[in-house]
Amino acid sequence: MTSTTDTPNTKTAFINAVRPYMRKAIISAIPDIDPYDGHLHVKMLNVREMTSFFQRCSEFENSYDDGLNGVREKALMIVDREGKPMFCPDDREDMEFLADLPSKVLAAVQDHFFLINGDAGLKKQSQDAKNS
């Protein structure tokens, strides 16, 4: 059992150990979706961003009844190479465009988003930090 006197030192050690990983955004291209390879990316989200993502998805359920809420969720996931959102979930044209893509594309977006924001993403972040 850890005594409470160790907590400040443990906390400081943890903060110092993870800071290098927190500074750099992880942007990952969505692979294996020809001819869209290299154009669609997802970002590893921090806790605030992930909370905002889920809140926004809940808002869609309460605000829209047009059958495009799943597409809106994918729109929140897609970013450009710099990590900026490419599509606006409140823009009807953007949602119609995304809805017309092959279903495999948006399925790949979702799969890669949750892959990078899960254990595999943390491992990649750790490897990238060691290589920089």
The answer to whether 26 touches 124, Cβ cutoff 8 Å, is yes
In contact, 70 and 80? CB cutoff 8 Å? no
CA distances in angstroms from 21 to 14, 26, 96, 100, listed in the order given: 12, 10, 37, 37
pLDDT value of position 72: 98
So what's the pLDDT on residue 15? Answer: 82
pTM over 0.85: no
CA distance 75 to 113: 11
∠ CA 129-107-103, rounded to 5°: 145
Per-residue pLDDT tens, the chain, 132 aa: give them: 455 556 778 988 888 888 777 767 789 999 988 888 789 999 999 999 999 999 999 999 999 999 999 999 999 999 999 999 999 999 999 999 999 999 999 999 999 999 999 876 666 655 555 555
